[in-house]
Chains A and B, each alone.
Chain A
Amino acid sequence: MTHKAYPLKSEFWTPGVLVLAAVAMAGLIVILARFIGGIGYVTHLSTARPWGLWIGVDVASGVALAAGGFTTAFLAHILGRHYYEPVVRPALLTAMLGYTFVVLGLMVDIGRSWAIWKPLFNWNPHSVLFEVAMCVMFYLNVLYIEFLPVVAEQYKGRVNLPGPLAILNAPISIFLDVADRILSKTMWVFIIAGVVLSCMHQSSLGSLMLVAPTKLHALWYTPILPLLFLVSAITVGYPMVVFETTLITTSMNLESEMKILAPLTRITLILLGLYASLKIGDMVIRKSYVYLFDFNTQSNAFLIEMILGVLIPWFMLVSNRVRQSRRWLFTACTLIVAGVVINRLNVFVVGYKPPVSDALYFPSMGEFMTTAGLIALLMLLYRFLVTHLPVLSAKRKEVC
């Protein structure tokens, strides 16, 4: 069985794409409004609640859900399980786009986006945020480098830009040629660096909230928060691959790739079990279960996160029938993905209660539109890139 990725070359402007484009446009208009009127103009953020939906979803969840990139690279390239190779490129693309949008989201969220390069030159090695910033910056570049051979494979010696851009044909062609030749020998350096950098900042994102013991609700505040963030990111890697592969193969009318996806989730069963036991063990040791049945916003959010996002999908994945059925596997994986998003939202938004301020926070319409717009733009780019670059290798379904 040979797997060769190929550009899909299918119709781009479908009705679904038009809807996505409309959502993206609306988001871009809100972003424009944010840069003209300021953060307060479009959001419900305040000095007491500086982190909201954008940090919870665009940044923290974005980073976690991009974990498929390094977990599949680890499996296929470091452990040498080449059977899983067909999912590496799509996962890499998701990670690359995911991190690009993490940075874009961050640019919208931070007050002075033009100062985002400052940590590069003003080091504070004691700061968690500094480490996260550096890792994300390096990892984003590593991802671009890892993706370069995909571009080279398609366009090496065939660069043909339209109009006056044709002047760039030769330099780009030479660049792709040289990059491809160097990278074919040195790719391992970047693959391993990608895994190391990911482990570093995935965990450090959890350390961020450790500085706020009086502000983060006891259900989430634990010294092992970095470990929980790392384990949940590694856990969500493969379910995210299942989630996006199922979506794109359905949308593009391709074969389902279940032969690769089903065994992949056997590993998830173990990882999710580990995550659940860490979470529950930590709750028992810290005796935070006393808050479990308060039935206020925080305890409800915690219960939803644990039951819907961890326990139910775990019990589903135990069954071999679920793992073999495309529909059920997709359901279980979607729950895991949603569970991680809810977890990040809980840690950064729902569980965050500054004691000196009663300010309630609920995201504004503008915040929702920005987040939705950025996600829609990401999906459009994903679709555009798989149309023109050899990323997916699932065969086209026979039309009868």
Chain B
Amino acid sequence: MYISHVPFERLGFIHVPDKPTPKLSEKIQHSLFSYLWSPIALYTLLSSVMWVSKRKEDRAESTHGGEA
């Protein structure tokens, strides 16, 4: 351990931030993926989009007599 009354940078140490470095990635990781909420939400959204587009297609097909 080093104790000094002069700034560490002047002693040839590198400047390091005060915050722990993994804080940011941990925050992003936890807020996006806790309980896998975002993948589940995206999955639900995409399946509804697919369902709507499929239904539109089926309707168009039935009105055109199956000629696609």
Judged by DSSP, the binding face of B is helix
Compute how far the CA of A223 lies from the CA of B26 in the bound complex, rounded to whole angstroms: 12
Compute how far the CA of A53 lies from the CA of B57 in the bound complex, rounded to whole angstroms: 46
Q: Determine if B42 and A126 form an interchain contact, defined as CB atoms under 8 angstroms apart.
A: no
Compute how far the CA of A193 lies from the CA of B50 in the bound complex, rounded to whole angstroms: 13
Q: Mark A180-212, 1 if CB is under 8 A from B, else 0.
A: 000000001001110111011000100110111
Q: Which residues of B contact A (CB under 8 A)?
A: 14-17, 21-22, 24-26, 28-30, 33, 39, 42-43, 46-47, 49-50, 53-54, 56-57
Compute how far the CA of A204 lies from the CA of B43 in the bound complex, rounded to whole angstroms: 17
Residue of B nearest to A210 (CB): B25
Q: Mark A121-165, 1 if CB is under 8 A from B, else 0.
A: 000011110010000000000000000000000000000000000
Indicate whether A196 sits within 8 Å of B29 (C-beta atoms), given known contacts A78-B49, A79-B53, A210-B24: no
Task: Tell me if A250 counts as interface (CB < 8 A to partner B).
Answer: no
| The one of A188, A196, A212 that contacts B42, using a Cβ cutoff of 8 Å | A196
Q: Mark A235-262, 1 if CB is under 8 A from B, else 0.
A: 0000000000000000000000000000
Q: How large is the interface on A (under 10, 10 to 19, 20 to 34, 35 or more residues)?
A: 20 to 34
Indicate whether A214 sits within 8 Å of B16 (C-beta atoms), given known contacts A126-B29, A126-B30, A207-B29: yes
Q: Determine if A214 and B21 form an interchain contact, defined as CB atoms under 8 angstroms apart.
A: yes
Q: Determine if B17 and A214 form an interchain contact, defined as CB atoms under 8 angstroms apart.
A: yes
Compute how far the CA of A79 lies from the CA of B54 in the bound complex, rounded to whole angstroms: 8
Q: Which residues of A contact B (CB under 8 A)?
A: 74, 77-80, 125-128, 131, 188, 191-193, 195-197, 199-200, 204, 207-208, 210-214, 223, 226, 355-356
Indicate whether A199 sits within 8 Å of B14 (C-beta atoms), given known contacts A126-B26, A212-B21, A226-B28: no
Compute how far the CA of A206 lies from the CA of B42 in the bound complex, rounded to whole angstroms: 19
Compute how far the CA of A204 lies from the CA of B14 in the bound complex, rounded to whole angstroms: 28
Compute how far the CA of A181 lies from the CA of B58 in the bound complex, rounded to whole angstroms: 21
Compute how far the CA of A192 lies from the CA of B28 in the bound complex, rounded to whole angstroms: 23
Residue of B nearest to A354 (CB): B14
12 contacts between A and B (CB under 8 A): A78-B53, A126-B29, A192-B43, A192-B47, A200-B33, A207-B29, A210-B28, A211-B22, A211-B24, A214-B17, A223-B24, A223-B28
Q: Which residues of A contact B46 (CB under 8 A)?
A: 74, 78, 192, 195-196
Residue of B nearest to A204 (CB): B29
| The one of A80, A197, A199 that contacts B53, using a Cβ cutoff of 8 Å | A80
Q: Which residues of B contact A207 (CB under 8 A)?
A: 25, 28-29
Q: Which residues of A contact B15 (CB under 8 A)?
A: 214
